[in-house]
């Protein structure tokens, strides 16, 4: 199998999120999220959280998002999906504090993210079918990031692209941009950045590879410095 033949090759998060499989998985994830919130907060506080999230969302969706649109992101529904996610994290942090809100949000992703993302990306077996696992993963990831840039989600600079490593710096991220508009860049870490730590290592671990990131925009670093590496290709 060629890398170009892998599922959704050359498509980014914006394109993939519009597919029926992702929407179905997202619906199931929403139910899991609500159940977990009820476990953590109880029915009354969960409903309060959801009601206040709607209020924050309605307020922020009317904001002038010209900065995001100037980079090419003009899909209002996608912008609103990001606003909704960050709004809930903000309200949750206001209600229970950032530390507990982060723990709850991470638990939500622990239970839901793989279910949602697995419908977008190739399986480990798909990468293996390309012959060189790490090369296939690297080329697929590179093409996906280029698609994200084209859609206006990120601005990136490739730092290394070699047989043993792919490294790039994310200099702009729309999730970070929205979190900043809410007044706290940290809001996008547990809702978005943490997802990379959940989904990437299990794939690379299959061939002894590593995912490294020294900092993120959400934490105040100048860039999100992604690095995927392996000691030898297989």
The domain locations on the chain are 3-229
- Domain 3-229, CATH among 3.90.1520, 1.10.3470, 2.60.40, 3.30.70: 3.90.1520
- The mean pLDDT of 213-223, rounded to a whole number, is 96
- 16 vs 147: CA distance, rounded Å: 11
- The mean pLDDT of 8-18, rounded to a whole number, is 89
What per-residue confidence (pLDDT) applies to 25?
63
Reported as a pLDDT band with limits 50, 70 and 90, residue 22 is low
Give one word for 201, left, alpha or beta, with left for phi > 0 and alpha for psi -120 to 50: alpha
Reported as a pLDDT band with limits 50, 70 and 90, residue 66 is confident
Top pLDDT among 17 and 119 is at: 17
Reported as a pLDDT band with limits 50, 70 and 90, residue 177 is very high
Cβ pair 192, 216 in contact under 8 A: no
Cβ pair 182, 53 in contact under 8 A: no
Of the listed ranges 9-13, 117-121, 133-137, the least confidently predicted one is 117-121
Above 70 in pLDDT, residue 122? yes
The tokens of 158 are what? 């490739």
- The mean pLDDT of 120-145, rounded to a whole number, is 94
Of the listed ranges 14-23, 34-43, 87-96, 133-142, the least confidently predicted one is 14-23
Cβ pair 114, 198 in contact under 8 A: yes
> Which DSSP letter does residue 193 get?
I
Task: Give me the chain's average pLDDT, please.
Answer: 91
Above 70 in pLDDT, residue 102? yes
Percent of the chain with pLDDT over 70: 94
What per-residue confidence (pLDDT) applies to 234?
43
- 72 vs 65: CA distance, rounded Å: 11
Reported as a pLDDT band with limits 50, 70 and 90, residue 170 is very high
What per-residue confidence (pLDDT) applies to 233?
44
Three-state secondary structure call for residue 89: helix
Q: What is the pTM of this model?
A: 0.92
Residue bearing tokens 């991470």: 106
What per-residue confidence (pLDDT) applies to 114?
63
Percent of the chain with pLDDT over 90: 75
Top pLDDT among 2 and 20 is at: 2
Burial annotation 39-58 (CB, 10 A radius, 16+ → b, else e): ebbeeeebeebeebbeebbe
What per-residue confidence (pLDDT) applies to 19?
72
């Amino acid at each position: 199998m060629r890398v170009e033949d892998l599922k959704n090759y050359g498509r980014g998060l914006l394109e993939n999120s519009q597919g029926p499989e992702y929407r179905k998985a997202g619906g199931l994830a929403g139910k899991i999220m609500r159940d977990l919130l009820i476990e953590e907060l109880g029915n009354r506080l969960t409903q309060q959280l959801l009601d206040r999230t709607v209020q924050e969302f309605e307020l922020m969706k009317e904001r002038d998002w010209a900065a995001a649109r100037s980079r090419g992101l003009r899909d209002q529904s996608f912008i609103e999906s990001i606003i909704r996610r960050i709004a809930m994290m903000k309200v949750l942090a206001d209600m229970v504090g950032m530390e507990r809100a982060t723990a709850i949000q991470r638990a939500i992703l622990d239970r839901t993210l793989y279910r949602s993302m697995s419908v977008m990306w190739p399986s480990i077996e798909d990468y293996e079918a390309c012959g060189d696992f790490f090369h296939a993963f690297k080329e697929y990831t590179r093409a996906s990031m280029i698609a994200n840039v084209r859609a206006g989600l990120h601005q990136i600079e490739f730092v290394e692209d070699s047989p043993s490593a792919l490294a790039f710096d994310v200099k702009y991220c729309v999730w970070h941009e929205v979190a900043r508009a809410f007044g706290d860049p940290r809001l996008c870490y547990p809702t978005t950045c943490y997802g990379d730590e959940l989904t990437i290592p299990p794939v690379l671990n299959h061939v002894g590879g590593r995912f490294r990131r020294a900092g993120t925009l959400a934490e105040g670093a100048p860039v999100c410095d992604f690095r995927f590496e392996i000691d030898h290709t297989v």
